[in-house]
Structure 1
Amino acid sequence: MPSTQAKRSSVTSEKGATAPRVRFMRRVVTAVGVQNISLLIAIAVLMAVIGSQNPEFFGIANIRVIGTAIAITGVLAVVQTLVIIMGALDISVGSAAGLSSVTSAMVFTVSGPFLGVVSALGVGVLCGLLNGCVIVFGRVNPVIATLATLAAFKGVAQLISDGRSQGYTGADGFFVFLARGTVLGIPTLIVILALIALLIHLILRYTSIGRNIYAVGGNDVASRLAGININRYILGVYMLAGAVAALAGILITARTGSGQPISGSEGLELESITAAALGGAALKGGKGTIAGTLLAVILLGILTNGMTLLGVNSFWQNVAKGGLLVVAVIIQQLRSGERRIGLPA
């Protein structure tokens, strides 16, 4: 009998010791998020596979290349996440970036870097305001509205630049600092991405504005009945998206040394939407995190860099990104438990 009691007490003590560890792990999983853990595992596996094929992948120089390469896509993906959480979409961010890039370079050649940057940001805000006005006052679906402005902004950029790169900023200290400078040893492009991500994360997590954006995306009817001015939020979020797109355009100008109407900005809308969806932002709105989006951006950057190092045809990169977007949407549908189109109820 004493031996049986000893065994029971031993089992009880083991359970008592295990329980805090289980609770701790649950807290970690909750804090990080299941979606983010999946992304971390995918990143680790991808790095292991690529690194085993090409040891240069883990070099400091290559890591810096990945970091600077994802910066422009990253800032757009972060603000795209904000738009998606609100229950909308902005397909025009790439074209707005191209128009802002051309504007920054053309004004720079006449008035210098300060006015070049300010004018580009102004153009971006106007692009966002136009998107918001079409959606709010024209009562147009955000996808259709921004699909139309995608073509319009691209056309304007081609008209004012005659379809060619404009200006030369490669000798200007400010643009060189943006493209190749460092802050405390960290590339400026990565610092800018981190600051934009931190700003939007703080807005979403710790302000009433962020809570209202989640509410609008989750249930716009209930939000309206609760007194939230939905139209004001739509206009504000799209103007912010336009400003961040303009920042991306300025970074494109800095990296290429000239204003680019199309080259450098084409396809950025797809990459930003893919990163946001892959990071867990629900395309129907009301759900998403900046941390998840950043992990997805890193995953896409590693995938692109790895395919380049391994000599994979660059066209396959677009195939991979499109495939990841499809996978992300399928996963969202499965998790939501909603009826899929074409399947019996």
Structure 2
Amino acid sequence: MTQTDTAKSTDTPRAGFDWITFLSKWGTLVSLGLLIALFSFGRPEVFMTVRNMLNILNQVSILGMIAFGLTICLVVGLYDLSIGAMATFGGYFAARFLMEIGIDNGAVVVLVLLVVLVLAALIGMVNGALISYLGISAIVETLAMSFVVTGVILGVSGGRTVYATEIPKAFAIIGQGKIAGIPNPVLILLLLGLLLWVFLEHTQTGRNMYALGGNREASRLSGISFSRYALIAMAISGACAALGGLVAGANLGAGRPQGVGEVYLLNAFVAVFIGASTLKPGKFHILGTAVGVLLIGVINNGLSVMGVPTFWQYIVQGSILILALISASLNAVRRG
């Protein structure tokens, strides 16, 4: 090595640890790990038990189903504010149809639930058609659709709840039963997450959706139709929201015409946006959403176990979301 080479190597600064990149990718998982450690230290006899872990998963299962569907919409750059109403739609009409049929048979229950999910998907496709073909803002159109769906539910129901005594017991098993000690809602959540993960990450349709979300104009020039994928995304979102709602109805053992899906709306967006700053900063993906949903569940359960007032749940959720967005934004600015 020459003297010049030695000087050059001496003058070259060593690259330090990139905290911004690390936090933008791993910060949410680090936060989740720290919260689990904190709650485990505070109440080890309660929090870190198999029973409580399954309880957390069961508590967030409905939120997770709705958030997974919302993730598909956000991948293609669309917002769906009708998911709360669609969840109520799924829970009420599943119970109402079963009440009207009056047959306590597993096959009939499955058939009715499939009909409800198809109806929800069709409503989602109407959303997608209005947005893509008429150029209506997704936020405004889906908000309007939520009012329409809510009005239809209240009109059909007359504000009356369908009670457990009027619903086949086979329906309640969906929300209250267990297989090998694992609650059915958790199993449904895991299966749905796996299917949508494969759909987004390992199919051409999923890759085209990511392309549309990244650059719609370039995708159009490449022959990818936004209208087609808007229909698919909104249909999946509507069906997933209805699935979450009917599982909630089965869990409650009742079909309520209001006050079901609305409680999941904001948390679904929080979970998806937290997920977008996990592992793949700035990219919506199913695995990230799963982490966001789990984080919300751990916060709510852990603070309750510790006896902390409920308002802290909102403060902690909001703070983590803000920090996640800040780290992702800083990383995006540096890349730009």
The interval holding the TM-score normalised by the smaller chain is 0.7 to 0.9
Q: 2:331 aligns with which of 332, 335, 340?
A: 335
Structure 1 position 177, deviation (Å):
2.4
Is the aligned partner of 1:297 residue 2:298? Answer: no
Aligned to 2:209: 213
Aligned to 1:77: 67
Moved more, 166-175 or 106-115: 166-175
Moved more, 130-139 or 252-261: 130-139
User: Which structure exhibits the higher relative contact order, with contacts defined as CA atoms closer than 8 Å and separated by 6 or more residues?
Assistant: 2
Distance 1:156 1:320 in 2: 36
Counterpart amino acid of 1:95?
A
Distance 2:42 2:160 in 1: 39
Structure 1 position 52, deviation (Å):
2.2
Any conservation in 2 of the 1:73–1:268 contact (CA below 8 Å)? Answer: yes
Structure 1 position 337, deviation (Å):
1.1
Structure 1 segments of 4 or more deviating over 6 A? none
Is the aligned partner of 1:49 residue 2:49? Answer: no
Any conservation in 2 of the 1:87–1:217 contact (CA below 8 Å)? Answer: yes
Structure 1 pair 304/100, CA: closer, same or farther in 2 (3 Å)?
same
Aligned to 2:237: 241
Gap regions ≥5 residues in structure 1: 1-29, 339-345
Any conservation in 2 of the 1:104–1:116 contact (CA below 8 Å)? Answer: yes
TM-score, scaled to structure 1:
0.81
Q: Deviations over 1:313-333 (max 9, x none)?
A: 334434443444444333332
TM-score, scaled to structure 2:
0.83
Aligned to 2:197: 201
Aligned to 1:156: 152
Structure 1 position 39, deviation (Å):
2.5
- RMSD (CA atoms): 2.5
Moved more, 221-230 or 87-96: 87-96
Any conservation in 2 of the 1:92–1:147 contact (CA below 8 Å)? Answer: yes
Q: Deviations over 1:134-168 (max 9, x none)?
A: 21233111122112222322232222222342242
Distance 2:116 2:52 in 1: 31
Distance 1:35 1:181 in 2: 39
Moved more, 61-70 or 149-158: 149-158
Distance 2:158 2:319 in 1: 35
Any conservation in 1 of the 2:25–2:277 contact (CA below 8 Å)? Answer: no
Q: Deviations over 1:59-92 (max 9, x none)?
A: 2221121011111111111121111111111121
Any conservation in 1 of the 2:282–2:328 contact (CA below 8 Å)? Answer: no
Distance 1:127 1:321 in 2: 31
Distance 1:289 1:157 in 2: 32
Q: Deviations over 1:103-142 (max 9, x none)?
A: 0111111114245313321331122122112212331111
Aligned to 1:13: none
Q: 1:136 aligns with which of 127, 132, 138?
A: 132
Aligned residues: 305
Any conservation in 1 of the 2:271–2:293 contact (CA below 8 Å)? Answer: yes
Gap regions ≥5 residues in structure 2: 1-20, 104-108
